Amino acid sequence: MFKVLVSDALGEAGVQLFRETDGIDVDVNTGLSPEELKAIIGDYDALVIRSATKVTEEILDAGKKLKVVGRAGIGLDNVDIPAATQRGVVVMNTPTGNVVTTAEHAIAMMMALTRNIPQGTLSLKDGRWDKKKLQGREVYNKTLGVIGFGKIGSIVADRAKGLRMKVVIYDPFVTPEQIQKAGFEGVTLDELYSRADYVTVHVPKLKETTGLLNKAAFDKMKDGVMIINCARGGIVDEDDLAEAMQSGKVAGAALDVFATEPPGECRLFEQDRMICTPHLGASTREAQTNVAVAVAEQIIDYLINGTVINAVNVPSVAGELLQKIGPYMAVGDRMGCLQAQLADGPVKSVVIEYTGDFKGMDMAPVSTAILKGLLTPMVKYAVNFVNAPIVAKEMGITVTESTTAEAEDYTHLITLRVATENGENVVAGTIIGRSDMKVVKINNFRLELVPEGHILLIFNQDRPGAIGGIGTTLGQHDINIGRMHVGQEKDGDRNIIFLQTDTPVPPEVIGELRTAQMVSSVTPLEL
């Protein structure tokens, strides 16, 4: 008998599915403190959550029997995925169950903001008739700027087109051809800012998107612009938005998400033209039923049959094959992640070459791992080991694979070529011994890089003192170098340096390195 704990509110249809399944014993126990959850999690094989439960390393340590964590929804910011992977715990989500609901909420927020519906309701209930004060505007013929053209952003764009709005799209990971094919206009971010009457964000919360809409962004926008965020808290800088609304630059804002939830005291609540909801984007009966049933079906299928669906950290591969190709999947995933950070512009094509003695191995899971590593920095939790090839196809990326038995320098070598509109990058990797991952080539440079941790990619002139100067600068800022890998350009006069540091290098230190003599470029990487 497998024991399942539901620790957050879950649609009754999902709970009932657990109860009706032979071999499953389900407990619903919501509102647990971390200490209470830690005390009981050791009795359970599966944990079902939404956004409230924090699945920390401490909780995972206590869950000695835990086999799977399932999120009824898409976001997994509240799950320590590396810690779960290290302990062999499968982490699943339900990436498609609430996309329509969230998109519709963004449209509803835009309309409510435009026509002052919340303010009108409050004024009437307060005995006032503020008809002139609450004059709105039409959305017809206005320009909506959509940042992020994934599943939700594309639905928002489609609904806005139905309202006869002009829609412009910015997504650095989707080619202009794909956006145009969908019937919209792709633009640069600055162009979107300058043209949009409304700006709505539909991107995952990443290092690159945190604080994306800040003072610098607002300064580039039209006077009287309106802001909608139903994606993730923290993508809009709340203090900068409050300042922009106070000055009149931003005429109104509609937020469903906040940097801290519940937000407590918030400067934005002082603004009359600010409307908000308590993270209701996915809160409809339909969506909650969809994700509840989906997560229950996935967990049951995994516990009873061993089938993995929508896992973000584990491939759907039989154990015997996984033992053989698992290390190659790991290095492939890291190579894909590295390529994503090297890419200059939307990815157009991916070529995966297997060279050497891969005879008898099914390399399809490795190719999937490569695509997942490549796409995850772009779309985060919307991609997993099951849907990575489908997501690549939806983004207009052509994927080609080839296998050659003749080995050259390495018994097994994986070469990944990724092309954008601005050029191509080549990364090659292999496994040394049983499981040691190594990246052995980046473009024309040969090296042996362990692809993990905080890394600085530095191009510099191959002259005495160049590397010493870099080390001195980092030392002055108390940044310790864990590993250093140096490669030389074939028939050239440049070095490529990979510095792995114990802690992330702050932006100001990166700026200082970029101005150093004999340094051509510095790019921070996270692997």
* Token pair listed for 242: 């409050």
Q: Where are the domains of the chain?
A: 1-97+284-312, 99-276, 315-443, 449-527
Tokens of 358: 């891969």
pLDDT of residue 459: 80
Tokens of 209: 């998107």
Query: Which pLDDT value is given to residue 253?
Result: 97
- Contact between 74 and 52 (Cβ < 8 Å): no
159, 279, 334, 412: the active-site residue: 279
Pairing of strands 445-449, 423-432: unpaired
> CATH second-level architecture of 99-276?
3-Layer(aba) Sandwich (3.40)
> Helix or strand or coil: residue 46?
strand
313-333: average pLDDT: 75
CATH of 1-97+284-312, one of 3.40.50.10860, 3.40.190.10, 3.30.870.10, 3.40.50.720: 3.40.50.720
Contact 527, 334 (CB under 8 A): yes
Give me 251's structure tokens: 């005429």
Confidence at residue 492, expressed as pLDDT on a 0 to 100 scale: 61
Would you place residue 377 in the very low, low, confident or very high pLDDT band (cuts 50, 70, 90)? Answer: confident
> Domain 449-527 is in which class?
alpha beta
**pLDDT (0 to 100) of residue 201:** 97
pLDDT on residue 265: 86
Q: Of residues 153 and 486, which shows the higher confidence score? A: 153
* Per-residue model confidence as pLDDT tens digits over 164-220: 999 999 998 888 888 999 999 999 999 999 999 999 999 988 888 999 999 999 999
Where do runs of H (alpha helix) occur along 87-207?
99-114, 117-125, 151-162, 176-181, 189-195
As given in the structure block, the two tokens for residue 407 are 């080995």
Max mean pLDDT range (247-251, 318-322, 389-393): 247-251
- Reported as a single tens digit per residue, the pLDDT across 460-515 is 777 777 778 888 888 888 888 888 877 776 666 677 788 888 888 888 888 888 88
In DSSP terms, 403 is beta-bridged to 354
pLDDT tens digit string along 407-446? Answer: 677 888 999 999 998 899 999 999 888 778 889 888 888 8
Task: Please pick, among 50, 71, 159, 232, the residue that the annotation labels catalytic.
Answer: 232
**For residue 225, what are the β-bridge partners?**
250
pLDDT at 235 over 90: yes
Say yes or no to pLDDT of 361 above 90: no
CA-based torsion, 206, 502, 89, 367: positive or negative: positive
Domain range 315-443, CATH class? alpha beta
Is 232 tagged catalytic? yes
The yes-or-no answer to whether 1-97+284-312 and 99-276 have a common fold is yes
Residue of 57, 177, 261, 286 marked active site: 261
- The Cα 371–Cα 100 span in angstroms is 26
Where does the pLDDT of residue 521 fall: very low under 50, low under 70, confident under 90, or very high at 90 and above? confident
Would the pLDDT of 22 be above 70?
A: yes
Q: What percent of the chain is modeled with pLDDT above 70? A: 96
**pLDDT averaged over every residue in the chain:** 89
Nearest to 146, CA basis, from 111, 181, 197? 197
Q: Is 279 designated active site?
A: yes
Which is higher by pLDDT, 317 or 290? Answer: 290
